[in-house]
Structure 1
């Protein structure tokens, strides 16, 4: 839809050259998480293990009963393909119930060995070994801290009443958090992971990197400097810094035109901005900037409420209502979308009026 040559934007510009394109801020934030999830091999593997844990228990009702016996608050969740900020739910279940989920995996391994199921038993053993890894625990804490903050921003951007000022403040708060987390995030994550490590009896040590042997043919050649790095330094270089830097850079690139838009269109974003422009005698300059810049810049906004309204169609017209007419579908959609207003309507009074109009009985 963003395509300037063949997308929806191009078709609008064919009709009106000054039409301003409005990309969804929620979608852009979603793409930030998508970029971060592909920032390193460790991040890709981390979410792969989370999906394997869900697939292990969700493939059978008997396995799910074993999971529910140990897990009481949050069940394991599947990783969504589109709503990346919803991955915080999948990470949260393992973040706060690591011991319970690990006990469920170990019990499932014992049951699989009794049933002579080698595939499930080896899968359980591999997942249990990975969960008991110190590096995995630190990755778990790091991802949950970042996804939790981004999920707060995402919920705020989906508000129907959000304006550009609130949007900018939320994005800047997210950038500030990521910048601060880059300097002390590893220490914070390790401090929280120590509690899990002590509970699981895990050795708090990063895996030592493989030392590369370099043959020096001449006396002036030195050994490779990367061979002297510790496991923690390799963890920071291969996982933490690429993750945080990718989020920070993606936020700056995808939301870089917000301040420019605020300077030119900010007076129209809310009633308070319009009143302040009038009282401070900034209205003529604001209107001049609006007339000069209209149709040239992208307008950051959100269409989350529109998409939530459109998603109601899937809930209303299912396979049991496949023969529903267009008029009935439109009516039910309006009632479902505007449910707050529909609850205030006195339906009994409407039924009485309808019955009175359609009354065919002869009154003597």
Structure 2
């Protein structure tokens, strides 16, 4: 039997509507359908829109020469968890990285790596959440990419987001600007994201009492810098590695010592209980919705009040200060008056936390 190759049909079930296929990453009809029916509508765009044709790159108009750019990849497991999901997290993570440099988000690029067989309903749910999070943050998804890999070559779904932001004129935060005497502020409770992910992944039961703190922080930064201006020396969101890693990075970059008051740390009861049970130090647990800020002492009260005026940081507190002693080292003053060195985490305590 002779087969005319021009008449041969591609063995891809074009009518498949439940799972992602390798063909969805081929650049052909399935790819176009995935963009048109699942991805673009979630971001408020359409493949057939004359106002927004599909180009190879996006043009972004900025009013300032101070452009800030950041990129981050997200491999969190599970994909959905109390307080968020990988889609919203992919927006919040990059928006917050921009914010820590005093920048307001203006545009996002989103790239998906999808495992063959991943449910289209789950992908649609992630895309909708990502789009909603972007709109809530006031940032547009302007470009992106989608790749599909074979079964086993990836675990369901990975997302990379790249953000462009404009730096606020009053903001000059930098890890190298912390000085002895600067006051250390924390915008809210710690440990919620890491414990939520660990508990949900391992069915420990703590997730019924707590939820991830995943949220955008750029409006908190805008309020803080409006109140303190250049006195806001440095900011950092304590994600992987928690407060410990963030403070050690800042101490090393500025050459100062840092003292943290253990009794001032806002730790939710369920988080403290989980850490005690699992043998974890809450200062090493990841967060996705709080920030650390070093502020010149004369402006600390004003900045703290401004942070507390925002719902995202209503629980902001003063937790320590920068000192000239023990440069490049972070210590915790415990509830009994003793001190302990707070090092960065060695190895991986909670894998795939974000």
TM-score range normalised by the length of the shorter chain: under 0.3
More helix by share: 1
Q: TM-score, normalised by structure 1?
A: 0.19
More strand by share: 2
What is the TM-score normalised by the length of structure 2?
0.19
